[in-house]
Amino acid sequence: VQLVESGGGLVQAGGSLRLSCAASGFTLTHFDQYAFGWFRQAPGKEREVVSCISSVDRSTYYTGSVKGRFTISGDNAKNTINLQLNSLKPEDTAVYYCAADLFDFCRLYMDYGHGQRHADLSSWGQGTQVTVSS
């Protein structure tokens, strides 16, 4: 599965952005069989999960720092996963990556608060830069 992110940019604190992750290249599988996640990596920091959506029931997970500000959603007709970013803060500045896997890694975050190794996820996008100025 190939993933392409878009929608990043420069925004002032308090502003909003909408990130999209377009998925393609499904072979004998379907978009709705995959769990999807948004991750981010700031300079000098490890990559961290931001939000994810389960492949089983499309339930969602958000890391604590973005709860109430970010919203993940899926569009089965367009094979797209979106992430709405509201009330942005300078600390949200990072490269945002989309990831997908047939394994419901999102369930691990929901049940245990942590997921599998990022390298074990089968598909990653190239990332899109989000910069929030103060």
> Which residue in the block uniquely carries the two structure tokens 């103060």?
134
Q: What tens digit of pLDDT does each residue of 59-105 get?
A: 999 999 999 999 999 999 999 999 999 999 999 999 999 999 999 99
Rounded-to-integer distance, Cα 64 and Cα 26, Å:
32
Q: What tens digit of pLDDT does each residue of 1-29 get?
A: 999 999 999 999 999 999 999 999 998 99
Residues 33/123/64/76 CA torsion (nearest 10 deg): -40
Rounded-to-integer distance, Cα 112 and Cα 97, Å:
22
pLDDT of 118 > 90? The answer is: no
